[in-house]
Chain A
């Protein structure tokens, strides 16, 4: 377990970015002005749940139940921190 404080909030995708599934690439991609980031499966599954309607805790719970695994909190929060730093996520004021 991490000794960090858990992440709080309801992240959603920044307006400039668009998340979509690409059949040809068999993956989720993030599209933005004149660019594309191809996401691996975990990244795609996490970002897919960043709709502004789920809290971080709910995102983690949903992933753990969907994929029947536990202890995803560190990985998910780590990725959310990376995505935030990359400018992909928006955290509305509570």
Chain B
């Protein structure tokens, strides 16, 4: 059993303020049924969450979504977070960020902006040639620098843009970003629906890895580039969220508390809600949070594996999506009896030429929700 004493505080608190978003990214990790959820927490409820989590030891506060700038009270929430002593992070597409808004956020004590390079049009094939997006992002990046925020650029990588990875890096350097996170698509939510169209081939990944290495040498200390080969291709599972409910607490727009944003889809879980349960009870006592803490839940081959304390059994959501059982060994691991499922997905990627994408929109959300029920 995991005892209360051995549970570390939720150092990272992610506030998913809203599922509203002006974009329709096919690789979004929001739940496919987001259109069903309209019951957003109020300003006061959010502030209550921030106060409780801070008292437990949370230090990083992320404002995310959807597009957090869609919440009119974002400035006020940032101010409250700052006043409580959090390091405040805004995770945004930049759409809705103008000169006045960014100044207000700075005045409220916002510490950092992570600007994501998603595509704002449905023409995802024009990912980089879409001048409309490029100009907008460039303007926002200039605003971020002019207001002296540290800037992390985040670009979700998939088969349709991975071959441009060198250009993406050069652009990030030109814009003056301190960090560039080249985040391989994680196949949950909408990205899982579109997995066959989004997963790169092994050759593409190998090439991208070479380009990243070359650019790291070329640009040196000017930028820190984060690029990790995805677990589908490595044969080793990743240490997901630094362990289930070990560091990270995510609150959905409706107040559902989760050990990661994707966990909402897991069946058989009754995740608590901040409207009726304290953060302390949620983090330390809730059965859903305790479900995969420690290693006593592990099946074989994890249970007797020397690497179990390194990867902690991998990702529970991926295990569920690929095997139907969230307690199974992550099939990304080549010791998993289900590893052939991952192998065949990777193999299929090299054979499939193209597949239509299902874009994240309220209409598609309703359609997909009906199709699954």
**Contact residues of A with B, CB < 8 Å?**
15-16, 18, 20, 22, 24-25, 29, 31-36
Contacts and interface: CB of A to CB of B under 8 A. Distances in A.
Contacts of A20: 85
B150 A18 contact: no
Contacts of A31: 59-60, 87, 111
A5 to B, nearest CB: 24
Contacts of A16: 112, 150, 178
The 10 closest A-B pairs by CB, nearest first: A24-B57, A31-B87, A33-B112, A16-B150, A33-B152, A33-B150, A36-B59, A24-B9, A34-B89, A31-B59
A24 B84 CA distance: 14
A22 B60 CA distance: 12
User: Interface majority SS on A: helix, strand, loop or mixed?
Assistant: strand
B146 to A, nearest CB: 14
17 contacts: A15-B148, A15-B150, A18-B111, A20-B85, A22-B57, A22-B59, A24-B9, A24-B56, A31-B87, A31-B111, A32-B150, A33-B111, A33-B150, A34-B12, A34-B62, A34-B114, A36-B11
Given A16-B178, A18-B87, A24-B9, A34 B152 contact: yes
A32 B148 CA distance: 14
Interface of B: 9, 11-12, 56-57, 59-60, 62, 85, 87, 89, 111-112, 114, 148, 150, 152, 178-179
B89 A33 contact: yes
A36 B60 contact: yes
Nearest to B87: A31
B87 A25 contact: no
Nearest to A24: B57
